[in-house]
Amino acid sequence: MWALFLLAADTLAIQVPPAFQTVDRVPITVEARFAGGGVDSTVSGVVSLQLLEGSVPTGTQYYTPLSLVMQQGVAQGTLQVYRVGTYALVATAPGGLVDTSDTFTVSPGPYADVVLLLPGQSLDGGYPGWRRVGLPAPDRYAVDQAIPYAVFLVDTFGNPVPGASDSFQITPVNSQGAGGRADVQAGPVLQTGDTLPVRPRVADSSFFLVVQGGSGTEDTSASVVAFPSSAQGVVLLVPGETLVPGDPAGRGKTGTPQPQNVNVPFGVDLILVDSLFNPVAVTDPFGLHNFTVEFSPVPTVGTVSPAQANFGTQNTLTFQVTFSRTGTWGVEGVDADSPAVRSGVTLVPVTLLADTLWVDPRRDTVSPGAWETLRVHVEAPGGVPVPAARVQATLQGPGNLLGTVATTDSAGIARFYYQAPLTLGLQQARVVFTHSTLTDTAELWTLTVTDSVLLMYPNPLTSPPGRANIMIFVPAVQDIAYAELMLYDLTGAPAWRKVLQAGELSPGVRQVVVWDGTNGRGKRVAQGPYMLVYRVIGSGGRVLLFAKRMVAVVW
């Protein structure tokens, strides 16, 4: 650092280091001197300071201090200038002593913040806490018009910092507070003085940008109005779809078309939009044209009411569409006067309107751990199968249900799979099936072995009494064909068998079968351990219940 000594004829001398920046506080010295060069120690009091930019005094908000205290001919302090420029400093000491320094340059400090300006605004640097001045001009932009935002990287006092750069995240925001959609036509690294062209996509009451720098800097721009441009085409919406203004995917809508039913009218909206899918309520150029809805690939698959209509001063036309057969059919909005203007084809699945739902089987007994196939039939009037119908299943009770939603096949059947529980005892489960307002229920029974299912007393069988009472439990189901008791020795050879036909059984209660200890030929079985087996067989030959128990015979 070097000092510049300015000795005016009035013998007041100001010492100002010539090279400093706004963020620096550098020493200044004012001395009252004799003409011969010595300090006049008799001069004391307040020395007032005035900063000149060129020959014009600056506002006092742009520098500090405003005065110094001189004692014994010398006043010392620090000087800070907030705004970049070339200046001179004027000092006025007691006794009318005045001196003006040579000019010196104030440079910006290091990069500390970012400022985003719209056309019509300018940067007002050199003030503690920078600010922008002016109003955006214009303050209204069409959605497809680029807005040239000016980017300034500034120091602590809002002076542009040459050569400064940063990486920014730029977030467009619309007046609803949600993330706006805009095309930001710039890279991630910006420098002072760069232009940031931003093209808003969504027409809204206001639009602004939030810019966040990688170094923690942030700015929110002034807001401008983004309004739709002129009409450029139409978007067709079927039930299940919604309009997406400014859609970056280029469709203008989102959602999945809902399935419709044969001979049931539904509404189709045709919306007049600009090139970025913002609704446009203007007559130019399409408002006076007639529009309609067409079908593909079979033009006669449906009807439209009204046949044609024009927008007038509205931006939405609603047509009632009715399909006459099932399938997946295309609908498209078309300008009847200029057929090249089209909305694009939307595919709509069309099914029969179901009036009957029933499940097979409605009642059944399932073996423990086994899987039961449940077939749900969905039918239209007259028993016509309804394909592509969505069926919901809800399990009430024990067990496992594989899948809770299924779609009917070409035969109108949706399939679900139920696994019976292994929990001991008699279990009942219900599976409720629904489609629209239709419903039906399957009732499923499972009986898993417990000690009370098969008992023999006395055990072991002795003489006397010479006979045993075998107690069996008969499950509470209706499709039992027969039940059997089998006695096997340890080699697996059968020693005794008893068959009970359905008419001899009482479902849901315990029964007693008496065994006199003989085999099928009327002879007593040999002493020793045996395996007693009990099975209940359904009408289809399926085992509904299986139980076994070790017993013994001692004569």
**How many angstroms separate the CA atoms of 388 and 411, rounded?**
10
Percent of the chain scoring above 90 in pLDDT: 42
pLDDT of 129 over the 90 cut: no
Write down the pLDDT at residue 483: 95
Contact 390, 405 (CB under 8 A): yes
**How many angstroms separate the CA atoms of 30 and 15, rounded?**
6
pLDDT in tens, 537-547: 988 787 888 88
| Short-list 103, 63, 101, CA closest to 83 | 63
The residue type of 39 is V
Of residues 479 and 259, more confidently modeled:
259
**How many angstroms separate the CA atoms of 196 and 185, rounded?**
7
**How many angstroms separate the CA atoms of 541 and 253, rounded?**
58
pLDDT of 364 over the 90 cut: no
SS3 291: strand
**How many angstroms separate the CA atoms of 366 and 363, rounded?**
10
**Domains present along the chain, CATH in parentheses:** 4-107 (2.60.40.1930), 113-227 (2.60.40.1930), 255-351 (2.60.40.3450), 356-447 (2.60.40.10), 449-553 (2.60.40.4070)
pLDDT of 273 over the 60 cut: yes
Write down the pLDDT at residue 6: 38
pLDDT of 462 over the 70 cut: yes
Of residues 475 and 452, more confidently modeled:
475
pLDDT of 287 over the 80 cut: no
Contact 149, 207 (CB under 8 A): no
Contact 103, 135 (CB under 8 A): no
DSSP conformational letter for 175: T
pLDDT of 470 over the 90 cut: yes
pLDDT in tens, 288-331: 789 999 999 999 999 999 999 998 888 899 999 999 888 899 99
Contact 118, 151 (CB under 8 A): no
Q: Which residues of 465-491 are buried (b: 16+ CB within 10 A; e: fewer)?
A: eeebebebbbbebebbebbebbbbeee
pLDDT in tens, 20-57: 767 778 889 988 888 767 888 888 999 999 999 988 99
Write down the pLDDT at residue 447: 67
**How many angstroms separate the CA atoms of 348 and 298, rounded?**
13
Contact 386, 351 (CB under 8 A): yes
Write down the pLDDT at residue 7: 37
Bridge partners of residue 405, in order along the sequence: 392
Tokens, residue 29: 């010295």
* Mean pLDDT calculated for residue range 82-104: 89
Q: E-strand spans in 408-527?
A: 413-419, 425-435, 438-448, 454-457, 468-473, 480-488, 494-501, 510-515
- Beta strand 19-21 with 104-107 is parallel
**How many angstroms separate the CA atoms of 266 and 350, rounded?**
11
| Short-list 373, 395, 376, CA closest to 387 | 376
Percent of the chain scoring above 70 in pLDDT: 93
Write down the pLDDT at residue 550: 92
**How many angstroms separate the CA atoms of 480 and 499, rounded?**
13
SS3 267: strand
Q: Which of 28-37, 115-124, 412-421, 493-502 has the lowest mean pLDDT?
A: 28-37
